[in-house]
Amino acid sequence: MTTGTTATDLTGRMLIAGTPVFGDGEQIRAIDPATGAELEPAYGHGGDAEVARACAAADEAFETYRATTFEQRAVFLETIADNIEAIGETLSARAHAESGLPLARTTGERGRTTGQLRLFAQVVREGSFTGARIDPAQPDRSPAPRADIRQRKIPLGPVAVFGASNFPLAFSVAGGDTASALAAGCPVVVKAHDAHPGTSELVARAISDAVASCGLPAGTFSLLFGSGRNLGISLVTDPRIQAVGFTGSRGAGLALTAAAQRRPQPIPVYAEMSSINPVFLLPGALAARAAELGGEFVGSLTMGSGQFCTNPGLVIAVDGPELTTFLDSAAEAVGAATPTPMLTPGIARAYESGVQALADQGGVTVLARGRESDAPHSCRAALLATDAESFLAGDGLDDEVFGSSSLVIRCRDAAQVREVAAGLEGQLTATVHATAADAAEAGALLPTLERTAGRILFNGWPTGVEVGHAMVHGGPFPSTSDSRTTSVGTLAIDRFLRPVAYQDLPAELLPSVLADGNPEGIWRRVDGELGKH
């Protein structure tokens, strides 16, 4: 089934278990940040009643949905991807209008979104996510016989997903959290981000159509509109919700986490919150190509108006002429950078006040700003610098400024570079630029970076997160609320699973992944030995 939806079809309605519902709360419209114009139609916020309705439907759908075969679930994910593609240009155009992100980017992001869904379909078919383990009975064991014990992972239950502002497709309604939760066997209730309601509605219909055409219970998916503080908290505290996926600000992530912990039954919250993604420029790399690094750095810094979780917000290097060359090159590139719209008026305001707050700190100088623009909500890139003493003594110099702002820390020597590294909060990424001449120093830094970040890059830039099997998009607090997981890549499915052991279960009741003879043909650990047995 394809939707053939066009933008003029937009209704402003939530989609609760397949039923369109116009919320009777506050009405909001998307704003095109490039022009400041409001976009039709109006979207009505829902409230507690809609949360309860969506969660009840998700809970009711859970048993049926989690009992789907690998093939059924994989086809469902692929059908969602097909349906999203079938919307056609309408979708990337609407995402472009609602986000101010270039059309090429929203088109690319659509491909990332459908690719992610299809990758999780592969993960489901492969079956290892079930973590099947079998310890066969040993009836003759002495002093006591051993029972037959088998283990698999089952889905947690209905999952609440919060759409992220900065990825209106790939980390929103059918984004990574939704794809991994559905792959795990969990129904999903999405709270749309108010910045891109039209994009959300289009994608929600693509999912809902897939639910229907795959013959799944309608409650497998719902889309809600509402404020984070009201509907969002109501969603997280609904007793039927069993886990939460969130990407956004530290304040909002901590509020959701606290709400989840206050529940009579606390639940896991996977909040991806804030990161300034330190970049270490080691002396050999600076000696080899300081000016080039400056240009590449600003390319990463200004891409998408710097609105990436992995934007390089901190640069750390030993002071000296090579660093000056880097800074001159970077300052020139920042000064020449074309101002580009930010996602929302609020984000643009927060960006400017964040840059100002950094600049006002003792010991901080502004090295360069991007050009002024007459367009509203534009991001003027900002390059600032300070010395390590000020950074180590400072308060707030490591706060994330969401946008194209970066702070360079001049260090006295390699020991001070390591001291700054050791004092950093948890990060999504840490990047090292090094040559063979830097091997000793890079090796000395590595253990610290492993303790600090979820992903460590050499001689690259942190923006651009590959969706694959080995990716980790996560990291120690406060970059995320739970460092044991990732929100990008196939390992993300683990977030929504828990192990269950079955002792002496009659054969006819055993789930197929644990049945004798391995009918699903998956990898299983039998008495600790991995094999397709």
Taking the complex as a whole, the smallest distance from the CB of residue 274 to a second copy amounts, in Å, to: 13
Residues near a second copy (CB under 8 A), total: 78
Selection from 163, 157, 269 nearest residue 223 by Cα? 163
Stretch touching a second copy by CB under 8 A, among 224-232, 264-272, 345-353, 408-416 = 264-272
Task: Give the DSSP per-residue string, 62-76.
Answer: HHHHHTS-HHHHHHH
C-alpha span between 282 and 392 (Å, rounded): 19
The site string for a second copy over 431-470 (x = CB under 8 A, - otherwise) reads ---x-x--x--xx--xx--xx-xxxxxxxx---x-x-xxx
* Residues between 139 and 178 with contacts to a second copy, criterion CB under 8 A: 144, 146-147, 149-151, 154, 156-157
C-alpha span between 288 and 74 (Å, rounded): 48
Amino acid at 67: A
* Residues between 97 and 126 with contacts to a second copy, criterion CB under 8 A: 122-123, 126
Q: In the structure encoding, which two tokens stand for residue 307, read together?
A: 């609105």
Which phi and psi angles does 424 have, rounded to 5°? Answer: -70, 150
Taking the complex as a whole, the smallest distance from the CB of residue 269 to a second copy amounts, in Å, to: 11
Is residue 509 at the binding interface for a second copy, with CB under 8 A as the rule? Answer: yes
Is residue 266 at the binding interface for a second copy, with CB under 8 A as the rule? Answer: yes
Q: In the structure encoding, which two tokens stand for residue 263, read together?
A: 């529940």
Stretch touching a second copy by CB under 8 A, among 6-14, 43-51, 316-324, 493-501 = 493-501
* Residues between 267 and 306 with contacts to a second copy, criterion CB under 8 A: 268
Q: For residue 308, give every residue at least 6 positions away whose Cβ sits within 8 Å of its Cβ, in sequence order, or none.
A: 166, 463
* Residues between 20 and 79 with contacts to a second copy, criterion CB under 8 A: 63, 67
C-alpha span between 185 and 204 (Å, rounded): 18
Is residue 420 at the binding interface for a second copy, with CB under 8 A as the rule? Answer: no
Is 411 tagged catalytic? no
Of 272, 296, 400, 520, catalytic = 272
Is residue 354 at the binding interface for a second copy, with CB under 8 A as the rule? Answer: no
Is residue 360 at the binding interface for a second copy, with CB under 8 A as the rule? Answer: no
Nearer to a second copy, 381 or 471 (CB): 471
Give alpha helix (H) positions in 158-249. 176-184, 197-213, 233-237
**Would you say 474 and 429 are in contact if contact means Cβ atoms under 8 Å apart?**
no
Taking the complex as a whole, the smallest distance from the CB of residue 80 to a second copy amounts, in Å, to: 20
Stretch touching a second copy by CB under 8 A, among 33-41, 70-78, 293-301, 504-512 = 504-512
The single residue among 106, 189, 474, 520 that binds a second copy, judged by CB under 8 A, is 474
Nearer to a second copy, 322 or 482 (CB): 482
Q: Give Cα 135 distance to the centre of its chain.
A: 37
C-alpha span between 408 and 312 (Å, rounded): 10
Is residue 321 at the binding interface for a second copy, with CB under 8 A as the rule? Answer: no
The single residue among 501, 516, 521, 533 that binds a second copy, judged by CB under 8 A, is 501
How many CB atoms are closer than 10 A to CB 60? Answer: 18
The single residue among 265, 372, 395, 517 that binds a second copy, judged by CB under 8 A, is 265
Nearer to a second copy, 43 or 496 (CB): 496
C-alpha span between 197 and 29 (Å, rounded): 8
**Would you say 417 and 410 are in contact if contact means Cβ atoms under 8 Å apart?**
no
Opening angle at CA 201, ends 200 and 202, nearest 5: 95
Of 309, 322, 379, 520, catalytic = 309
Would you call 153 helix, strand, or coil by DSSP? Answer: strand
Q: Give Cα 324 distance to the centre of its chain.
A: 35
Stretch touching a second copy by CB under 8 A, among 194-202, 263-271, 383-391, 399-407 = 263-271
Taking the complex as a whole, the smallest distance from the CB of residue 205 to a second copy amounts, in Å, to: 29
Is residue 508 at the binding interface for a second copy, with CB under 8 A as the rule? Answer: yes
Is 214 tagged catalytic? no
Cβ-count burial of 167 within 10 angstroms (0-12 exposed, 13-18 middle, 19+ buried)?
buried
Nearer to a second copy, 23 or 426 (CB): 426
Taking the complex as a whole, the smallest distance from the CB of residue 503 to a second copy amounts, in Å, to: 4
Write out the catalytic residue numbers.
Answer: 272, 309
